[in-house]
Structure 1
Amino acid sequence: MRVLPDNFNARLKSAVVGTADASLVFLGNFEVEGRWAIGEVGLRGVAFEAGRAVVNRMDEFALLLATEADHVVLKQEPDAGYLAYLADLGLELPRIITPGGQDPHRVVTEDALADPATVARLAQLADEGCWLSPHGVSTLEEELAQRSGLRLAAPGAAICKAVNSKVYSRHLADELGLRQAPGWACDTLAELDEAVAGARALLAGERKVVVKDAFGVSGKGIAVIETEDRLARLHRMVARRAGGAEQQRVGLVVEEWVAKDADLNYQFTVGRDGAVHLDFVKQALTDGGVHKGHRFPVSLTPAQLDELHEAAERIGKRLADDGYFGVVGVDAMVDPDGGLFPLVEINARNNMSTYQALVQATFAGAGKVALARHYVLRLRTELAFDELRRLLDGVLLDRDTGHGLLVNNFATVNAAGAVRGAATERSFDGRLYGMVVARSAAELTALDDEITARLAAVQGGGGG
């Protein structure tokens, strides 16, 4: 298998539709795992957390996955200054569809379904031969496809949910003989009982244990266990939740917490014909299991890269056998001795790296190093992009310099402010997502430090 140098948008369309000149309607329904987790017994409930408004505005990432031949459904029209900035970079921008009304706590799919005019517009696009390409497919996206007549450029919700489960990932690693941490996949309470007994033995040997919800995401649904008392409490909690469930089914993975030197994320696409193409390998930056960003290119030996290539090919073929096609992100780890754990979990949906693919190829090619991350801003009022652009003058990426910060989502900066009471003066946290591009590791660090320092000036006062 080889890494293909062609345009990712075109390769994606070829894989999921069969032709590179198709027109897709992109939908950024982030954290679709929340829908997949409904009815499942694990560590977390399915109630949306307080930060849901910010997560829902991650829909704006889809702007940079699309081209001018495509459409993107967004909860709100992007900031005009931000669109002008993207145009100044020479990026192709898709046609934007926004529902007539949006609820900050609703995913973009729900906003679209609630607006008859949006459904009617999508029906027109269906008549023109467009396809619906969601971040991930749940029953909500199936409903939108059915009501609009758009064909899904992805498998159905049942397949996507099944192969995205961490229980599936562990079973697949066993089947393929891929190295993984000692542990257990638990589909039933009886299997969980067995896993807990094994975990007790690990704890008695002064090792740590991690328990993962089958559909956990972004650090939610994961527990690191260091004592038998905590393990017992968790065991009782899950047993209570599963007590009334049919056949007492659960969805959990229990593993030894193993030493690692680095987290990796690699992405490949599986075509409708079963062909597998590796897109890229990146170092994933995490903190307590929460994704913080990516650094690339990654420093791996040829032997390590070959091992990941082979793993991607084998995993992709197996996913195709189970009816899956489209984007696949796989989390992996490097141990302190340089050995690989090539399959920690499968994300059968778009990944954060997916939305960097087009701009990465344009601005972070050979001879460049890059860091994809987000910066937190504490604001009292909304911040306009033009104000941010002035604040970051000289460190924002532009076509002349070819290095600096490329902002790839601005909507998340002000999203939390939309849910505050009209009379409150409370501050809110915004997230600024971007990709820092530099010519060397030292320059990358200096740019990141300068951006952080500049943004500190707006803390507590944004928007004037």
Structure 2
Amino acid sequence: MGSVRCLREGPSATSMSTPFNLVARLTEERDRGAIVWLLNIGAEKYWNPVQPGVVDRGEDRIVGRVEEMNLLLCREQDILILREMPDPYYLDKLREWGFSIPRRIRVPRQSDSWTPISELVLRDVDLLTELAKVAEANDDVWFVPYAVTRLEEQIAARCGLRLAAAPSGVNAAVNDKIANREIAVALELPVCQGRVCGSAEEIGQAYAELTEQPPYFDRVIIKEPFGASGKGLYIVDGPDKLRPILLRVSRFAKSNPQAQWLVEGWYDKQADINYQLYVSEDGKVDVFSIKQQVLRDTVYIGSRMPVELGADAIDRYREFGEAIGKHLHAIGFTGVAGIDSIITRDGGVIPIIEINGRFTLSTYISFLERVIGDAKVFSRYFKVATDEPVDFRAVCEELERERLLYSRDTGEGVLVYTSGTLPTVKDESSGKYPGRVFTLIVARDWERVEEIGSRLESLLDSWQYQLT
């Protein structure tokens, strides 16, 4: 590593006079500077090391390839680091649809499907040297990973890159669900009824209080402090489901006496709302991309954009976001944060269900207007398992046959925005080809979105058995 220089003393006076703002760089300042992008999904395991349990290598391979979502944000002058070079047909299609493909896409030497991408980068001296030369030649180069752990800090230090985000310790603290509740309380925002528990006995007591006292919740959710994509969340709708969770908690607490869990009532909802923040180093807070999320229980499956809320409700969310962003800045946080909230059945708003002090999958679809214009969009992903491999070209050809493929001329259709997650690798245990199809269903009105979405769902259902 001797050939790669250390972090420079600090940014130049010019860069300090105009703090980096990611939202501006992706909108009105798209020609300015360069960004090194890295989608290091799975950062939670570095913030809160725990036993991974059962490892599904096929699932891990698919999750790793969501890295291609970064292409929805990139500019031509940027550098994108991926674990695998994208399908050329996929890149050509994104260009045709209006996305900017970076001139420099880099893959670490000796890359594989399972090693965390940042570890792969740190092993590649040539790649680190190239990034260092880029940083040396240009004062306006920024490193924007999905999340910041000690690994991304090491990459920045070895290459002289400036991280457009808070230190890893701050990121970890902000991603703590119990700390999220404490932030809401400190800001005097409404919170879900419930409490923090430190033992199986306390969880049992909290469950009884929530289900046996007004307002008599039918279901209760138990949350571990860290987790993503629905992991570490347990929805309990009766004593039979509670017992095995209490046994698991008891075993864990014996070796982790400081462990805590959050137990809250499960609310009937009008809507799940996600809103994104960008907190600049100077404390400026941009609230952007307010979306209605579509969840299956606790797992995100898509978003509807633009959100169908009245102007007053949108203004309230902007006020919530600005207050939360200022609080985050005060505790040292900068960068992107995605906040999940709910509107309850009676119209009440709980502004913080959880804060992700990092990018979320929703962040990557937050700046589509430049490409698709003023349209209605339903982002939706599907799990599929096919009998034959289905690559990006095959998906597009199938959609085109069904007259479903997105067209810039008509401004509607289905836009598939990753290729590496598609079912192209066989799972030897099942004999199937598992994958994820990430789509944007685009039209000028919601009725047409529903129509296209229904046809798409029927088509993908048929893939569970054979390639049509």
Give the TM-score of the pair, scaled to structure 2.
0.87
1:175-222 residue CA offsets vs partner (Å, 9 max, x unmatched): 111111111134x55xx7545423222233453221011112111111
Instruction: State the one-letter code of the partner of 1:32.
Output: A
Match of residue 17 from structure 2: none
Q: What is the number of residues matched between the two proteins? A: 437
Among 166, 172, 195, which residue is 1:155 paired with? 166
Cα distance in 1 for residues equivalent to 2:111 and 2:133: 21
Q: Which runs of 5+ in 1 are unaligned?
A: 1-9
Contact 2:71-2:100 within 8 A present in 1 as well: no
2:255 match: secondary structure = coil
Match of residue 299 from structure 1: 308
Cα distance in 2 for residues equivalent to 1:236 and 1:123: 50
Cα distance in 1 for residues equivalent to 2:196 and 2:283: 27
Contact 1:170-1:185 within 8 A present in 2 as well: no
Map 1:397-436 onto structure 2 (within 5 A).
397-414=406-423, 417=425, 420=427, 426-436=431-441
1:292-349 residue CA offsets vs partner (Å, 9 max, x unmatched): 0001222212332222111111100000001111111110111112221111110111
Among 233, 240, 249, which residue is 1:238 paired with? 249
Among 51, 58, 63, which residue is 2:71 paired with? 63
Match of residue 3 from structure 1: none
Instruction: State the one-letter code of the partner of 1:59.
Output: E
- CA drift of 1:13 comes to 6.3
- CA drift of 1:253 comes to 1.1
Match of residue 7 from structure 1: none
Match of residue 3 from structure 2: none
Contact 1:38-1:46 within 8 A present in 2 as well: no
Decide which moves more: 120-129 or 268-277: 120-129
Contact 2:85-2:105 within 8 A present in 1 as well: yes
Contact 1:372-1:436 within 8 A present in 2 as well: yes
Contact 2:287-2:318 within 8 A present in 1 as well: yes
2:224 match: secondary structure = strand
Whether 2:108 is the aligned partner of 1:102: answer: no
Cα distance in 2 for residues equivalent to 1:219 and 1:31: 13
- CA drift of 1:364 comes to 4.4
Match of residue 203 from structure 1: 211
1:382-429 residue CA offsets vs partner (Å, 9 max, x unmatched): 3232222211113222221111112221211146x17x45xx781122
Decide which moves more: 302-311 or 51-60: 302-311
Match of residue 35 from structure 1: 46
Map 1:371-382 onto structure 2 (within 5 A).
371-382=378-389
- CA drift of 1:49 comes to 4.0
Match of residue 460 from structure 2: 455
Cα distance in 2 for residues equivalent to 1:375 and 1:238: 32
Distance 1:46 1:175, change over 3 A: farther
1:80-124 residue CA offsets vs partner (Å, 9 max, x unmatched): 110110111232111200112222122222222233332232222
Instruction: State the one-letter code of the partner of 2:432.
Output: S
Match of residue 36 from structure 2: 25
Whether 2:279 is the aligned partner of 1:274: answer: no
Instruction: State the one-letter code of the partner of 2:336.
Output: V
Match of residue 4 from structure 1: none
Instruction: State the one-letter code of the partner of 1:272.
Output: E
Whether 2:85 is the aligned partner of 1:80: answer: no
Cα distance in 1 for residues equivalent to 2:412 and 2:186: 44
Among 420, 438, 446, which residue is 1:441 paired with? 446
Contact 1:262-1:283 within 8 A present in 2 as well: yes
Among 385, 394, 397, which residue is 1:390 paired with? 397
Instruction: State the one-letter code of the partner of 2:98.
Output: G
Match of residue 22 from structure 2: 12
Contact 1:333-1:344 within 8 A present in 2 as well: yes
Cα distance in 1 for residues equivalent to 2:430 and 2:345: 48
Map 1:42-53 onto structure 2 (within 5 A).
45=52, 48-50=55-57, 51-53=59-61
2:287 match: secondary structure = strand
Cα distance in 2 for residues equivalent to 1:381 and 1:100: 30
Cα distance in 1 for residues equivalent to 2:54 and 2:156: 25
Among 298, 317, 325, which residue is 2:334 paired with? 325
Distance 1:320 1:455, change over 3 A: same
Cα distance in 2 for residues equivalent to 1:226 and 1:458: 34
Decide which moves more: 19-28 or 206-215: 19-28
Aligned-CA RMSD value: 2.5
Match of residue 137 from structure 2: 128
Instruction: State the one-letter code of the partner of 1:80.
Output: P
Among 161, 176, 182, which residue is 1:171 paired with? 182
Among 331, 353, 357, which residue is 1:348 paired with? 357
Higher relative contact order (CA 8 A, sep 6+): 1
2:351 match: secondary structure = strand
% identical aligned pairs: 31
1:241-271 residue CA offsets vs partner (Å, 9 max, x unmatched): 23233xx211421111122121111112111
Match of residue 234 from structure 2: 223
1:30-87 residue CA offsets vs partner (Å, 9 max, x unmatched): 2322322215xxxx84665441111111111111111012111001110111011011
Cα distance in 2 for residues equivalent to 1:383 and 1:230: 39
Whether 2:224 is the aligned partner of 1:213: answer: yes
